[in-house]
Amino acid sequence: MTGDSELRLGTLALSSRWLLAPLESVSDCAFRRLCWQQGAGLTFTEMIRARSLARKNKSTLELIDTYDADVPTGIQLLATSAGELADALGVLAEASKDAPHLRNVCAVDLNFGCPSPEIIRIGGGPALLKRRGKLKELFEALRRFQRSQALSIGAVGAKIRLGLNRAEQDQKVYLPIVELANEHLDYLTVHARHARQNSDEPATWAAITEARARATIPLIGNGGALDAASAQRMREETGCAGVLIARGAIRSPWIFRALSGRGSSEPSTDELEQARVAYLTAAAAHHTKPKFVTWHTEGFERMARRLRGAPARGDATCPPSTNG
């Protein structure tokens, strides 16, 4: 604990230890605001490909929709080499001269968990978990950028899985990464599954406990904290400093309110309607891409049906083509 804050990552003093996960096709500016208002201490954009950012790809830059300076937001990057990462961060700093909202990025997170075959084929994401030399180069490049103060980045970190597959998990490839992160990063998030596991399979929280025991930086747990009770249980059982919440927040952003001890994890009908209107207003103001707006509009409808006690329809936590 540091001052009034619940959790400190680098120089970021967070108001809570419950974090909104990077979520492809879900995490837009207006949704992050809703989660933050309910008590999320830090939020993340969806994963952004460093290679596309380095090429100044317009739609990639548009994914960094950090218009809302109030909401602590980190970007998540997928990079396969230190050079690519440095180039991408250079483009970000340069672009921020004409696009001031990019200066609201307060953290940079590296993705080593995306199970997409396309990413693994190019040697990215979980394919790097065993390659300690490359990881070190990536971590160092990230720290170098932070120290350059080209942007004011309070915390740099990474999100890892337990391995590319079961064999790597059994070899505990994640443990040496903790040591590396201790040296170079401000926090490390452990998604307690290997990359061949889908989200319905149970997460191995014992691995979070093991990683936490070696961490001298805050260790954030992830995987299977689907409601307030399980998020609390993850923290108690593993001793992690914070919990990164994905599907639980898609189901109900009010999970953060419950975790902050400020009310129920289900909104009232009025609260839901106010949140829906606020979401649509902010999304319109920030030209949020239609795929996000469609997804959240359906999400608010799903929540309204649930509050009415109507039966659920369809999968409530996965928009099409996501990299979870």
Ligand X SMILES: Cc1cc2nc3c(=O)[nH]c(=O)nc-3n(C[C@H](O)[C@H](O)[C@H](O)COP(=O)(O)O)c2cc1C
Q: Which of 143, 130, 107 is nearest to 11 (CA)?
A: 107
One residue of 43, 265, 288, 323 binding ligand X per CB under 6 A: 323
Residue with tokens 């190019």: 122
- Nearest distance in Å: CB 203, ligand X: 7
One residue of 5, 199, 232, 297 binding ligand X per CB under 6 A: 199
Nearest residue (CB) to ligand X, 124 versus 223: 223
One residue of 157, 218, 224, 242 binding ligand X per CB under 6 A: 224
Does the footprint of ligand X cover residue 26 (CB under 6 A)? yes
- Nearest distance in Å: CB 27, ligand X: 7
One residue of 245, 272, 282, 283 binding ligand X per CB under 6 A: 245
Q: Phi-psi region for residue 151, left (φ > 0), alpha (ψ -120 to 50) or beta?
A: beta
One-letter amino acid for residue 162 of the chain: L
Using DSSP, state whether 207 is helix, strand or coil.
helix
Q: Using an 8 Å Cβ cutoff, are 194 and 165 in contact? A: yes
Does the footprint of ligand X cover residue 17 (CB under 6 A)? no
Using DSSP, state whether 75 is helix, strand or coil.
strand
Give the separation between CA 90 and CA 45, rounded to whole angstroms.
18
- Nearest distance in Å: CB 108, ligand X: 13
Cα 96 to Cα 52, 99, 104, 188, distances in angstroms: 16, 5, 9, 26
Does the footprint of ligand X cover residue 240 (CB under 6 A)? no
Q: At a CB cut-off of 8 Å and minimum separation 6, what does 242 contact?
A: 7, 14, 17, 18, 19, 41, 187, 218, 220, 221, 235
One residue of 38, 66, 76, 146 binding ligand X per CB under 6 A: 76
Residue nearest to ligand X (CB): 324
Tokens describing residue 307: 């509050």
Does the footprint of ligand X cover residue 46 (CB under 6 A)? yes
Stretch that binds ligand X, among 22-30, 88-96, 205-213, 301-309 (CB under 6 A): 22-30
Vertex 25, ends 19 and 29: CA angle to 5°? 55
Stretch that binds ligand X, among 59-67, 174-182, 284-292, 311-319 (CB under 6 A): 311-319
Does the footprint of ligand X cover residue 47 (CB under 6 A)? yes
One residue of 41, 163, 248, 253 binding ligand X per CB under 6 A: 248
Can you give the binding site for ligand X, defined by CB under 6 A? 21-24, 26, 46-47, 76, 111, 113, 159, 191, 199, 222-226, 245-248, 317-319, 322-324
